Chain A
Amino acid sequence: MIRRSETDEKTAERRLGLWLCAPAALIMLLVTGWPILYSVLLSLQRYDLRFPKERAWIGLANYGAVLTDGFWWNAFWVTVLVTVVSVAIELVLGMLLALAMYRTLVARGAIRTLVLIPYGIVTVVAAYGWRYAWTPETGWLAGMLPEGSAPLTERTPALAIIILAEVWKTTPFMALLLMAGLAVVPNDLLQAASMDGATLWQRFFRVTLPLMKPAIMVALLFRTLDAFRIFDDIYVLTNGAADTSSVSVIAYHNLIGGLNLGIGSTMSVLVFLTVAVIAAAFIKGFGISTPGTQGGRR
């Protein structure tokens, strides 16, 4: 900031601006900051709603209980697996869709609308659709499997179906983000490369992709954070049966089903920390410019 050039009038204006923003900032702090702080406080207590009299401060014991628990780590690795696999598939499919949508000459609007339909359907509704489709007797997909197979009750098939449901739902979103990135690649650059004898593949990997990097990274960041919080698809499809809980589902089970505010909050805090680490890694590691910071670190 170049303070010297500021006149008194400007300072006053700034102060007024701050005052005008203050209520909003304060409310934001209350509605987002306080719950986070409160769950941190809860995570330091033994607090089971069914035994209100036994509420006590126990330091980091809940963290010890959660971090040495097999169910938690199982849920953690399930979440990581679902996140990595589904985001990877979405990136490839999303890129293909984006290219197709970008290059289409006819009925562009209609095609874009069509592609976006899965993203427009409420996740829980879509998840029920998938659940019934894979349920023996009622499901059209289960009907194609050998008799007696119930894919949602076995771990590997259930995880595959969860990933499928995620990919089906969010690939359009990925495609949309990537298409915005495609739009910033100058056409004359591609033409020049073509004149120089670059093949289609070379043009894509050497020209288009590097120029799209910021868009790809933002898309990946959004989707990774989103995928890591996966809840509704799992809740509807298996509700965590056959070791398919994600971290959000297991936190929900402990908080809402188990009424154990201490353990449940500890899990929420751990999920929060992991999400923060992922976001920081993307922003620091890959030099992503987040929306609002112009040009980022470059």
Chain B
Amino acid sequence: MRWASCGAMAVVLLAGVGGAAAGCGGGESGPPEINLYNAPQENIGRIVARCNRRAAGRYRITLNTLPRDADGQREQMVRRLAAGDTGLDVLGLDVMWTAELAEAEWILPWTGAYERQVRRGTLPKPLETATWDGRLYAAPYTTNVQLLWYRSDLVPKPPTTWNGLIRESDRLAAEGRPHYAEVTGAPYEGIVVWFNSVLASAGGSILNTAGETVMLGPPATRALGVMRAFGRSRAADPSISSMREDDVRLAMEGGRAAFQINWPFVYASMAANKPRLLPDFKWAPYPGVDGPGRAPLGGANFGISRYTEHPREAFEAALCLRDPQSQLTAAVMDGLPPTIRTVYDAPQMAEAYPMRQAILDALETAALRPRTPTYQNVSTVTSTILSPPGSIDPVKTEARLRDLISDALESKGVLP
């Protein structure tokens, strides 16, 4: 219990029934408590328990689970950080939040020995998601790339481009077989990563590298044309505008689809839910515009709250939570790909991650989403404008995106 929340509680109690705020006394005994706030992850308890054993009384990590959806997670954390809440220590952050939290000075930079330890052996792309303005602001915990998943009983050779995907779907539809290619077309982050990847494959980007000006332009018009063509083709599920990752996964497990674009967690899910389909459930690189595409990059990093009362212990705890052993647990038990290169060679990985080489390959070329403190705004306007993909008008949509994103960058515009 911290003083700030005790105070608030006392006020509430006074206003309500009166009485003492029980349990708010000072004089905490025992090791400092490090509050970890993380997205729901089934077996993170094991990781925490192991780190607590290793801490040997220097600190004790308490696991706090955030809401399931990314917006809910971000909201809870930024609201409390904005209020200077000292009850947060280690924060499990989506890779897209680093810039925002660093710019607002809500997370501490990693320096000195801590920084060296994080950089050692960590894959370059995940590391890039943890840096802002040339400094390291988080420790990469898990990474993720989307792949093209397909049924080899229906598709002998997976297509490498979006147009190829459309052609294959047409062929399957003509034969009266499952032919949908499932993508995340609902108006949320899922459609933004899709657009960002198609755009990167077309040789463009949403923002410049510094995250300060809008790029878009002809590559964006082209990418939007690809998405529109896909949205109007027979490859698109009629429910495309409500599909999120889980709907996509279920559509394929249910036998409706021949393809899905999704994160590797779908493999373990297929193995558990539809083992009959598993032998024909194969993966291929993310499709592109002219050739192989650039996969979206996801994952999570650990940041340290700037309001923590135990920074040293918090950094140490975060280091343990993302060390090779912890990452192996997260990978094998929860399907979250590691950010440390050597973990991929662990013998346990072979069974859980038959696609691990494909992940490592995709990580080489993966497309980072725009890095800017106002990413949330950029993402919100983009997803609103792009859904449903079939209604995109490449030239007009590009112009509208350009206007809205430049407003969003200055936190001037209104969010829908």
Interface residues of A, Cβ cutoff 8 Å to B: 48-52, 65-66, 69, 71-72, 74, 135-137, 147-150, 152-154, 240-243, 245, 250, 253-254, 256-260, 263
Contacts and interface: CB of A to CB of B under 8 A. Distances in A.
A258 B411 contact: yes
Interface in B247-304: 247, 250, 254
Contact of A258 (B239, B376, B384): B376
Nearest to B377: A258
A135 B244 CA distance: 13
Contacts of A66: 414
Contact of A259 (B78, B237, B239, B412): B78
A167 B160 CA distance: 50
Contact of A50 (B373, B388, B414): B373
Contacts of A137: 247, 250, 254
Interface of B: 71, 75, 78-79, 82, 100, 103-105, 186-188, 237-239, 241-242, 247, 250, 254, 373-374, 376-377, 380, 384, 387-388, 411-416
Contacts of B380: 253, 257-258
A253 B239 contact: no
Contacts, number: 89
A78 B28 CA distance: 53
26 contacts: A50-B103, A50-B104, A50-B373, A50-B374, A51-B104, A52-B104, A52-B105, A72-B414, A136-B242, A137-B247, A137-B250, A137-B254, A147-B238, A150-B241, A153-B187, A153-B242, A153-B388, A242-B387, A243-B416, A245-B416, A254-B415, A257-B376, A258-B380, A258-B415, A259-B82, A263-B415
Most B CB contacts (10 A, CB to CB) among A65, A137, A150 go to: A150
Contacts of B247: 137
Nearest to B75: A256
Decide if the interface of chain B is mainly helix, strand, loop or mixed: loop
A243 B75 CA distance: 22
A241 B381 CA distance: 11
A256 B238 contact: no
A152 B415 contact: no
B269 to A, nearest CB: 16
Contacts of A258: 376-377, 380, 411, 415
Given A50-B104, A257-B75, A153 B241 contact: yes
B414 A69 contact: yes
Given A50-B100, A243-B416, 9 more contacts: A49-B78, A51-B373, A52-B105, A74-B416, A152-B242, A153-B186, A240-B416, A257-B380, A258-B377
B257 to A, nearest CB: 13
B414 A257 contact: no
B238 to A, nearest CB: 3
B187 A242 contact: yes
A241 B186 contact: yes
A-B interface, 10 closest residue pairs, ranked by CB to CB distance from nearest: A148-B238, A150-B242, A48-B411, A69-B414, A153-B241, A153-B242, A71-B416, A50-B104, A241-B187, A258-B415
A257 B82 CA distance: 13
Contacts of A48: 411
A150 to B, nearest CB: 4
Nearest to B104: A50
Given A147-B238, A241-B387, A250 B414 contact: yes
Given A49-B82, A51-B373, A69 B413 contact: yes
A147 B238 CA distance: 8
B416 A250 contact: yes
Nearest to B83: A49
Nearest to A72: B414
Contacts of B413: 65, 69
A241 B189 CA distance: 12
B345 to A, nearest CB: 40
Contacts of B242: 135-136, 150, 152-153
A29 to B, nearest CB: 15
Given A148-B238, A150-B242, A153-B242, A253 B416 contact: yes
B250 A65 contact: no
B104 A49 contact: yes
Which of B78, B82, B239, B387 has the largest count of A CB atoms less than 10 A from its CB? B239
Contacts of A242: 187, 241, 387
A150 B237 CA distance: 11
Contacts of B384: 241
